[in-house]
Amino acid sequence: MSIEVYDTGRRPVWCPGCGNFGILLALRKALAELKLKPEEVVIVTGIGCHGRMSDYMRTNAFHTIHGRVLPLATGIKLANPELTVIGHAGDGDAYAIGLGHLPHAARRNVDLTFIVHNNMVFGLTTGQVTPTTPRGVKTKSTPFGNPEQPLNPVLLALASGATFVARGFSGDVEHLKELIKAGIQHKGFAFIDVLQPCVTFFNTYQMLREKVYKLEEAGHDPSDLESALRLAMLQDGRIPIGIFYKTQAPTFEEAFSHAMNPPPARRTPKPVDLSRALKRFK
C-alpha cells in the first residue's frame, strides 16, 4: 500500500527540520507496510506541535484536550476493538498534565499504541521546561537552568507494567518505522518514547546522533525485564533505542469482556422514549 493513501494533502506547518516530520513519515510507512486501511485506523492527538498529526493523517482522527489522549484512546478501543488505535502525545502532554493516565493504561494493558513525541521542551508555547528537560538546561521558564531531575519515561513505563516498551529516534525513520510496526502488532499496551529534536527551542540533533545506539545490534534480549530496567537506568553517556521489553499478558478488553459482548459499536441503538421527560415541560 502506498504511503500517499494516508496523506490528507495539507502542508505541515512545523518548523523546517522539526522531528515531527520523521515521526509522521515513519507512521505512514508503518501503516502502509502493515496494509492497514485508513478506515481501520484511529489517530488520537493531544495539545502541542505533535497535535497536528491528526490533520495530516487521512485516517479517523480525534484531536483532544491537553493530557487526555490515553482516556480517549482507551474509550475508542473499548467501543470498537476492531480498530487500530494509535495515540500521539508530546512530552509536556504525556508526562506533565497527562502523566496520571500513563501508569494506569500500562497496568490495564489496553490494546493500543502510545507514541510520545519527546523533544524535552514545550515547543508550541515557545520553549518552557517540561518533565523531561535535562537538569541545567536554560529555557524561557528556567533562565538560570532547570533545577529538577528529569523524568525517566522508559523506566516509568517498565515499572507500571507495560507489556511493550520501546524508545525511538525521529532522525532514524526506518528504525522508528519498525518500532511502530512492532507496537501496532503487539497485543496489549505498546509504549514508544520517541526522542525528537525541537530545532527552534532545543536542538538536540547532533547530540542524539552521536549518542544513540540500537539495542538489537547490542544483543539485548527484550524478554529480559531485569536487563530492560538496567538499560533504562543506564547513565554512561550513551542512549539506547529499540525495544527494551516485550511480553504477553491478558488485555483490558479480555478482562472486561463481560461488558463488551457485543462492544458498543456493534450494538443496535434503541429508540429513545422522551415522552416522560417532555411531560415535565407541559
Q: Could you tell me which residue, 271 or 201, shows the higher pLDDT? A: 201
The rounded percent of the chain whose pLDDT value lies above 90 is 88
The pLDDT value recorded for residue 274 is 86
pLDDT confidence band for 271 (50 / 70 / 90): confident
Tell me the C-alpha distance between 44 and 46, whole Å.
Answer: 7
Tell me the C-alpha distance between 114 and 153, whole Å.
Answer: 12
The pLDDT value recorded for residue 270 is 81
pLDDT above 90: residue 273: no
The pLDDT value recorded for residue 130 is 96
The pLDDT value recorded for residue 281 is 84
Report the candidate in 80, 42, 79 with the shortest Cα–Cα distance to residue 58.
42
The pLDDT value recorded for residue 261 is 84
pLDDT confidence band for 258 (50 / 70 / 90): confident
> What's this model's pTM, rounded to 2 decimal places?
0.94
pLDDT above 90: residue 235: no
- Domain parsing of the chain, residue ranges: 3-279
pLDDT confidence band for 199 (50 / 70 / 90): very high
The pLDDT value recorded for residue 4 is 95
DSSP structural state of residue 148: S
Angle between helices 173-185 and 20-33 (to 10 degrees): 50
AA identity, residue 78? L
Tell me the C-alpha distance between 164 and 166, whole Å.
Answer: 7
Q: Is the dihedral of CA 78, 80, 84, 88 positive or negative?
A: negative
Tell me the C-alpha distance between 114 and 232, whole Å.
Answer: 18
What does CATH list as the number for 3-279? 3.40.50.970
pLDDT above 90: residue 233: yes
